[in-house]
């Protein structure tokens, strides 16, 4: 279903709930405050989960985003719908913190001034936006190939019988895989090293990391300075 249609349905549903509560007087002011507080807490929880899942969705497709950026620099901006949504996801992640702060502040302000229905509208809106972000990330996980299933980077692999490689990795290139760098506010150099460890690499000293062929799938050719096959132990 079209994203705009879903948004209008959600707005209509929220306003319908507000109208029913207002006309029926089904809740006392105290009960309404409890509902608002609960909904706000639920929305914050959903937002944390959604942002975590959406960040994972991006990092699982780091090489894909790098290819998109290269194509954009060459003037090729034609993208399929899932690819377009994956770019939009970056913007949603970047603006997620600001939206959350504004919605929470607005809800608390409405409660403070006794505007409980307005507070409930804002709390429900926050929960909806968080759930929407989560569903977008999960949908992209289903339709876009993750880096772990992509072909090995186009680099010459040294011969040998061992499945282990000693790779000198350009961490700066790994970290700055999308420019402007501000596109990934959650991706720090320290988190880059943790991510490499999660991909199956083990640091051996300096810029060299040990990993197998599966781990190599997470790297792009310009991120590999040198590679050698380790000896069988």
Higher per-residue confidence, 21 vs 96: 96
Least confident of 71-75, 78-82, 216-220: 71-75
Contact 121, 18 (CB under 8 A): yes
> 143 and 164: one domain?
no
Q: Residue 7: which pLDDT band, with cuts at 50, 70 and 90?
A: low
pLDDT tens column, 105-123:
999 998 888 888 888 889 9
> 141 and 184: one domain?
no
Tokens 């810029």 -> residue: 207
The domain boundary residue, chosen from 148, 179, 200 = 148
Contact 155, 169 (CB under 8 A): no
> 120 and 57: one domain?
yes
> What is residue 22's predicted lDDT score, i.e. its pLDDT?
67
E strands, 123-174, where?
A: 165-169
Q: How far is residue 202 CA from its own chain's centroid? A: 25
Integer-rounded Cα Rg, in Å, for the chain is: 23
Q: Which domain holds residue 207?
A: 151-229
CA 188 to each of CA 43, 78, 174, 177, 214: distance values in angstroms, whole numbers, following the listed order: 26, 30, 11, 12, 24
> 159 and 72: one domain?
no
Instruction: Evaluate the omega torsion of the peptide bond into residue 180 and state whether it is cis, within 30 degrees of 0.
Output: yes
pTM of the complete model = 0.81
Tally Cβ neighbours within 10 Å of residue 24: 8
For the chain, what is the domain count? 2
> 18 and 67: one domain?
yes
Alpha helix locations (H) across 75-115?
81-112
Q: Residue 163: which pLDDT band, with cuts at 50, 70 and 90?
A: confident
Tokens 């029926």 -> residue: 24
> What is residue 95's predicted lDDT score, i.e. its pLDDT?
83
> 132 and 169: one domain?
no
> What is residue 52's predicted lDDT score, i.e. its pLDDT?
92
> 141 and 158: one domain?
no
The domain boundary residue, chosen from 131, 148, 165 = 148
> What is residue 4's predicted lDDT score, i.e. its pLDDT?
63
């Amino acid at each position: 279903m079209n994203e705009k249609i879903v948004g209008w349905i959600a707005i209509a549903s929220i306003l319908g709930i507000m109208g029913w509560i207002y006309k029926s007087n089904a809740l006392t002011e105290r009960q309404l405050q409890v509902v608002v507080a609960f909904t706000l807490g639920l929305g914050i929880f959903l937002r944390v989960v959604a942002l975590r899942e959406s960040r994972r969705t991006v990092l699982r497709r780091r090489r894909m985003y790098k290819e998109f950026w290269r194509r954009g620099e060459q003037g090729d901006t034609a993208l399929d719908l899932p690819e377009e949504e994956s770019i939009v996801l970056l913007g949603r992640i970047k603006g997620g913190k600001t939206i959350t702060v504004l919605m929470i502040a607005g809800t608390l302000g409405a409660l403070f001034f006794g505007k409980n229905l307005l507070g409930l509208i804002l709390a429900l809106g926050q929960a909806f936006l968080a759930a929407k972000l989560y569903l977008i990330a999960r949908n992209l996980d289903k339709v876009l190939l993750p880096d772990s299933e992509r072909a090995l980077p186009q680099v010459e692999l040294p011969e040998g019988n061992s499945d282990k490689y000693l790779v000198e990795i350009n961490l700066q290139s790994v970290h700055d895989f999308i420019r402007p760098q501000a596109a990934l506010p959650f991706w720090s150099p320290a988190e880059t090293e943790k991510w490499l460890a999660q991909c199956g690499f083990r640091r051996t000293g300096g810029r060299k990391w040990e990993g197998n062929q599966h781990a190599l799938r997470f790297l792009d050719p310009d991120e590999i300075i040198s590679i050698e096959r380790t000896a069988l132990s």
